[in-house]
Amino acid sequence: MPDQMPDQMPDRMPDPLPDRMPGARGPIRRLLSFRSLLLLLLLAGPLGLSGCGKEAPRFEDVKPADELYAEGLEKLKGRKILGLFRYVDYDAAIETFQSIIDNYPFSEFEEKAQLKIADAYFEDERYEEALAYYQEFADQHSTDPRAPGALLRVAQCHYEQVESIERDQGAARKATEALEVLIQTHPYAEETRQGEEMLVELRTRLAGNMLHIADFYLKRGHWQSAASRYRRVLDEFPGLGLDARALYRLGLCLENMKRDDEALRLYHVVVENYADTPSARNARARIARAE
């Protein structure tokens, strides 16, 4: 039998969300209102919190790479003080170029900025810092047309730290090594011609330092120690204008070691090949005394 409609509709329809469900501990309607408010606040984000007295953080826009690069170049130009002295804020220029590296690491300006940072350190005579940037560029971009210039600068950074000839020549040796790499890897580069001239100067300095050490031992009668260093001058640094002196003094060492025949042969070599040198005059006197 079909359901029958009730004779009368109730005065009030039952609430679909009763204030309290059986066994519930709190009003459901109040709980839903709180959840809705929380959801709205979360969706509103910073705008919803704008009335709390704090503004959302703002981030400054970074200038384009080309503008930063031009700005860095301008800072490297410096400014005149009293029309006489040039002042350059190298740290400010370096910071500008570093901003390019940090924000545009894969752009063409990143490599340019790296070299300009190196140049800034070099001009400011902070050679160790400059060396690190030049060396990194040369290592990472060995086929780049700017690599020979970076290698030459590596050598120059070491060169600027060379001590006097009486002191340790570690920096001179490192400069020599860098120049040898430059000459071997980029034999036709323009920078290589300049590097070759510097290499001759550095090798002459290293030979002079070796002679200085040999003379030190010679004066104190340490004949073997002196002789080994004179031989090194002849073997490692020939043709630099020091051969006559090294040969003659090596002869003195041998003479004092009772190896007279070897000493005489060296004296004759000096006289025959370096006749106009002071060492040749001294060698003639030794030969005459032996005869």
Tens of pLDDT along 150-184? 999 999 999 999 988 878 899 999 999 999 999 99
Percent of residues, the chain, with pLDDT higher than 70: 79
For the ranges 62-66, 244-248, 257-261, 268-272, the lowest mean pLDDT is seen at: 62-66
In three-state secondary structure terms, 81 is strand
For residue 262, pLDDT over 60 is answered with yes
Query: Which pLDDT value is given to residue 29?
Result: 39
Percent of residues, the chain, with pLDDT higher than 90: 70
Query: Which pLDDT value is given to residue 85?
Result: 81
For residue 11, pLDDT over 80 is answered with no
| Span 26-30, average pLDDT | 40
- Per-residue tokens: 177: 């090594």
| Span 82-109, average pLDDT | 91
Query: Which pLDDT value is given to residue 16?
Result: 44
Query: Which pLDDT value is given to residue 163?
Result: 84
Instruction: Give me the phi and psi of 92, to 5 degrees please.
Output: -65, -40
More confident site: 45 or 67: 67
Residue 87 bridge partners (DSSP): 79
C-beta of residue 253 within 8 angstroms of C-beta of residue 227: yes
Torsion region of 45: left, alpha or beta (phi above 0 gives left; psi -120 to 50 gives alpha): left
C-beta of residue 152 within 8 angstroms of C-beta of residue 191: yes
For residue 57, pLDDT over 60 is answered with no
In three-state secondary structure terms, 92 is helix
Reported as a pLDDT band with limits 50, 70 and 90, residue 9 is very low
For residue 37, pLDDT over 80 is answered with no
| Span 229-240, average pLDDT | 96
Q: How many separate helices (H) and strands (E) can be counted in the chain?
A: 12, 2
- Among 174, 127, 172, 179, smallest CA distance to 151 is for 179
Spatial separation of the C-alpha atoms in residues 277 and 255, rounded to whole Å:
20
Residue range 221-291 forms a domain whose CATH class is mainly alpha
Compute how many other C-beta atoms are within 10 angstroms of the C-beta atom of residue 260: 13
Spatial separation of the C-alpha atoms in residues 220 and 99, rounded to whole Å:
59
| Span 21-27, average pLDDT | 41
Rounded to two decimals, the pTM is 0.71
The CATH code of the domain at 125-218 is 1.25.40.10
In three-state secondary structure terms, 11 is coil
**Longest Cα separation, the chain:** 157
For residue 4, pLDDT over 60 is answered with no
DSSP of 136-168, one letter per residue?
HHHHH-TTSTTHHHHHHHHHHHHHTTPPPTTS-
- Among 216, 256, 249, smallest CA distance to 233 is for 249
Spatial separation of the C-alpha atoms in residues 84 and 81, rounded to whole Å:
6
Query: Which pLDDT value is given to residue 291?
Result: 77
- Among 83, 85, 62, 65, smallest CA distance to 73 is for 65
**Distances in Å between the alpha carbon of 172 and those of 42, 178, 204, 289?**
66, 10, 10, 41
Sign of the Cα pseudo-torsion (86, 163, 207, 236, in order): negative
259: buried, middle or exposed (CB in 10 Å: 19+, 13-18, 0-12)? middle
For residue 21, pLDDT over 60 is answered with no
Query: Which pLDDT value is given to residue 54?
Result: 44
CA atoms within 13 A on the CB side of 188: 1
The rounded mean pLDDT for the chain is: 84
Query: Which pLDDT value is given to residue 240?
Result: 93
